[in-house]
């Protein structure tokens, strides 16, 4: 991952935009609203079209969330960003909060009035986050309100369009395993759990599963897309075809059905009516997804995203693929020089330097040449 330090903060608009948001919230019947850094894909690094926290407050750090109430505006950040927050936001509008020690759920429980109604965009929060907020609000006889639309998006007049970064195929020399083999293994494992399908919502999981790379977010090689992998071996990829060329589209259509991202919710609802159990990762999937499954009559099975499991648990590499993969991946320097990870006995300044790292490097290079 890469973090840019280009200054894009616009703190001079903080008061105007916060007032506009409060006006919109009053019409929705809620007392407060959360504006997270994360986007619909729960990414830490987001495209310009999802820079909601930055647009509202001026804060451009990679971790944070704002709580806007009728009388207060708090931006919660961790210790890395305390100084940056003070420099980037209008201190007469926003105050700082502790994202680690007293996140919004903790702050609300201690400071919100009885009956507080908190509005959220359910596509921007995971199921795990929602449970924490509901628990905090229940102690106040308050409630969490899932809004049908994001009020901030409605007042963001010059919001950039969603990105259409080009998707590329990851060569087998780098991926190590064919995408069709990954999908087959994932489907087989699903069948054993009794789940009819798993929904992949993390772009990094899409990149790994289908052996593709994207360019929707600068310096982050994950395409913004979602997928459904069925226990019967079928797969559906919700990816805008404008991101692919002829070669990439031909490659992907051999692996799955490519569908427009706008049809994702409709497909989830339709599948839920007939398949029964659908697996999602509660720490990475948006809460809205679970609600669509339940509303459609399906059962949500919470489990770790199979594409995020450690490599040995995901799939054992075939010996040939493993050898090729290892040779394409440079060994750590510590394998060449034990001194980088363990203390060596002191030696005389006149002693010649150890040549152990040279022999280790030569052996590794020889192994790669014979693959």
Q: pLDDT per residue over 262-294, tens digit each? A: 999 999 999 888 777 999 999 999 999 999 999
Reported as a pLDDT band with limits 50, 70 and 90, residue 6 is: low
Residues 251, 206, 238: CA angle, nearest 5 degrees = 70
Examine the pLDDT at 366 and tell me if it is beyond 60.
Answer: no
CA-closest candidate to residue 28, choices 114, 109, 148, 189:
148
User: By the 8 A CB rule, do 203 and 225 touch?
Assistant: yes
Examine the pLDDT at 4 and tell me if it is beyond 90.
Answer: no
Examine the pLDDT at 67 and tell me if it is beyond 70.
Answer: yes
Task: Find the DSSP H helices in the chain.
Answer: 14-28, 52-57, 82-88, 104-111, 127-138, 151-155, 172-175, 179-193, 203-210, 246-253, 264-275, 287-295, 311-314, 319-328, 333-336, 356-369
- For the segment 150-190, what is each residue's pLDDT rounded down to a tens digit? 999 999 999 999 999 999 999 999 989 999 999 999 999 99
| CA distance from start to end of the chain | 31
Q: What is residue 336's predicted lDDT score, i.e. its pLDDT?
A: 43
Containing H/E element for 69? Answer: strand 65-69
Q: What is residue 29's predicted lDDT score, i.e. its pLDDT?
A: 93
Q: What is residue 363's predicted lDDT score, i.e. its pLDDT?
A: 52
Q: What is residue 273's predicted lDDT score, i.e. its pLDDT?
A: 86
Which residues have CB under 8 Å from 109's CB, separation 6+?
A: 136, 137, 139, 140
- Cα separation, 313 vs 311, in Å, equals 5
User: By the 8 A CB rule, do 87 and 117 touch?
Assistant: no
> Where along the chain do the CATH 3.40.350.10 domains lie?
11-155, 168-314
Neighbours of 331 (CB within 10 A): 12
Give percent of the chain above pLDDT 90.
Answer: 73
The sign of the CA dihedral 225, 222, 283, 55 is: negative
- The domain at 11-155 falls in which architecture? 3-Layer(aba) Sandwich (3.40)
Please give the mean pLDDT across all residues of the chain.
85
Reported as a pLDDT band with limits 50, 70 and 90, residue 9 is: low
Helix (H, G, I), strand (E, B) or coil at 277: strand
User: What's the CATH code, domain 168-314?
Assistant: 3.40.350.10
- Produce one character per residue of 148-162: b if its CB has 16 or more CB atoms within 10 Å, e if not: eebbbeebbeebeee
- Cα separation, 302 vs 281, in Å, equals 6
* Full strand arrangement of the beta sheet holding 143-146: 95-98, 73-77, 65-69, 32-36, 117-120, 143-146
- Cα separation, 104 vs 195, in Å, equals 34
Which residue has better confidence, 4 or 267? 267
């Amino acid at each position: 991952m890469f973090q840019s330090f280009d200054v894009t903060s616009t703190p001079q608009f903080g008061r105007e935009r916060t007032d506009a948001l409060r006006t919109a919230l009053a019409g929705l019947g809620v007392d407060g609203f959360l504006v997270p850094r994360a986007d619909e894909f729960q990414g830490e690094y987001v495209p310009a079209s999802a820079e909601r926290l930055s647009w509202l407050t001026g804060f451009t750090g990679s971790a944070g969330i704002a709580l806007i109430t009728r009388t207060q505006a708090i931006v919660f950040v961790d210790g890395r960003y305390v100084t940056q927050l003070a420099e980037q936001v209008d201190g007469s509008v926003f105050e700082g909060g502790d994202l680690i020690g007293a996140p919004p759920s903790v702050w609300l429980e201690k400071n919100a009035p009885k009956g507080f109604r908190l509005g959220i965009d359910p596509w921007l929060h995971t199921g795990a986050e929602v449970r924490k907020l509901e628990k905090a609000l229940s102690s106040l006889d308050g409630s969490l309100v899932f809004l049908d639309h994001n009020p901030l998006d409605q007042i963001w007049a010059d919001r950039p369009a969603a990105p259409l970064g080009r998707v590329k195929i990851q060569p087998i020399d780098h991926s190590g395993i064919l995408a069709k083999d990954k999908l087959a293994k994932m489907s087989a494992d699903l069948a054993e759990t009794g789940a009819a399908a798993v929904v992949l919502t993390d772009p990094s999981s899409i990149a790994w599963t289908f052996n593709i790379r994207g360019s929707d977010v600068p310096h982050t090689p994950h395409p913004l897309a979602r997928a459904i992998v069925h226990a019967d071996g079928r797969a559906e990829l919700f990816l805008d075809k404008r991101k692919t060329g002829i070669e990439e589209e031909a490659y992907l259509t051999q692996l799955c059905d490519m569908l427009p991202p706008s049809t994702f919710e409709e497909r989830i609802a339709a599948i839920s009516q007939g398949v029964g159990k659908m697996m999602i990762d509660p720490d990475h999937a948006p809460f809205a997804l679970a609600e669509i499954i339940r509303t459609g009559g399906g059962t949500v099975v919470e489990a770790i995203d199979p594409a995020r499991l450690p490599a040995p648990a995901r799939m054992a590499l075939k010996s040939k693929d493993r050898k090729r993969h290892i040779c394409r991946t440079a060994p750590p320097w510590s394998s060449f020089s034990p001194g980088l990870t363990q203390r060596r006995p002191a030696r005389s300044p006149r002693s010649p330097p150890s040549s152990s790292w040279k022999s280790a490097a030569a052996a590794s290079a020889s192994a790669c040449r014979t693959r």
